[in-house]
Amino acid sequence: MANVRLEDIKRRFNNVTAIEDITFEVPDGEFWVLVGPSGCGKSTILRTIAGLETATSGKLYIGDTLMNDIPARQRDVAMVFQNYALYPHMTVAENIAFGLQMRQVDRKIIRERVETVARSLSLENLLDRKPKQLSGGQQQRVALGRAIARQPQVFLLDEPLSNLDAQLRDDTRAELKQLHAQLGVTTVYVTHDQVEAMTLADKIVVLNRGKIQQIGAPQEVYAHPANQMIATFLGNPPMNIMPAIYTNQGFQIGEQHIFCPIEIQQKLNLAPGKPVDLGIRPECIYVNELLSSQNNTRDSLLTTHLKVVEPLGREILIKGNVPGTSVLLNAQVSPNVNLRVGDRLSLQLDLDCLFVF
């Protein structure tokens, strides 16, 4: 096993810079996830680590070895792709064994390793089948099995779950996490799915337009996003963003004004008249049922017109129009309130959770 270090990696395709200023180090045994919208450069970074892409400049180390000029097959990394890339004419057992045969590993060791890997991925009963006789989930487990059997220093996974249906994706995600806990192999995982990133990663690297936006533990990045792109990318439903103007008492949002306690104003330290984007997560908004009697909370109330009411069992997702703006505010509220589309609703914002961009 080994750490993976990228120093100022850049990759240009003709005149287009796909990635630049890419610097991070995945410590030995950790599971890091590269996440960001399509086209932000995730796969290019992963393929550069694998040796399938050559960096235009910068340095890549696996362990202490500079890898820039070392061909892919000598890098001791195993990559798993979205489309499984299994050999169709080989059985499951042959597919899992393939990488070991190429390395001329002893046949007895290969047989033992295939059996162990098959057991850990519940593939024991499928070893004689061909890929086309398997479901998508099973095929992906074989692709993982092939990577695991090689016992590489580093796993590189490129959207490995995105061809699976929702239930299977959740199950396989949990299996992947268990597998990593068991094997402890340094892993770099690419996804555009923020749920996968949040649930799997020791650390996430958020990318946008070929550059790193933020690196941190998932919860840390969720709680302290460095910018608006990250704030709205992580979280489902996403963080609400409302254009507002800072007054010297709070914020004007469309036709309404919300007052901010002095401590929060001091923390924000804004100049009156400054236009800002206010961010608030859907779980930090509550339905205010007792508007007239709750004087202590009246300051942070916002009136909305309900456009969408979606009962989700444990909670209700509502979307409300904020008068004087084009904002459709998302909120996740208690299922005990009886709400209908068209209601005029007073919502309370938890101002401790307010972000200002």
Chain positions contacting ligand ADP, by CB under 6 A: 13, 16, 18, 36, 38-44
Q: Where do the DSSP E strands lie in the chain?
A: 4-13, 16-26, 31-35, 57-62, 65-66, 77-80, 154-158, 186-191, 203-208, 211-216, 240-246, 250-253, 256-259, 275-280, 285-287, 301-311, 316-321, 328-333, 344-349, 355-356
- Give the C-alpha separation, 140 to 132, whole Å: 12
The two beta strands, 240-246 and 275-280, are antiparallel
Quick one: 43 or 213, whose CB is closer to ligand ADP? 43
Quick one: 192 or 257, whose CB is closer to ligand ADP? 192
- The least CB distance from residue 41 to ligand ADP, in Å, is 4
Quick one: 41 or 152, whose CB is closer to ligand ADP? 41
What's the DSSP call for residue 300?
G
- Give the C-alpha separation, 34 to 9, whole Å: 15
Quick one: 191 or 300, whose CB is closer to ligand ADP? 191
| Phi and psi, residue 122, nearest 5° | 55, 45
- The least CB distance from residue 250 to ligand ADP, in Å, is 39
Which residues are registered as beta bridge partners of 212?
207
- The least CB distance from residue 2 to ligand ADP, in Å, is 23
- The least CB distance from residue 189 to ligand ADP, in Å, is 12
Quick one: 54 or 236, whose CB is closer to ligand ADP? 54
- The least CB distance from residue 287 to ligand ADP, in Å, is 38
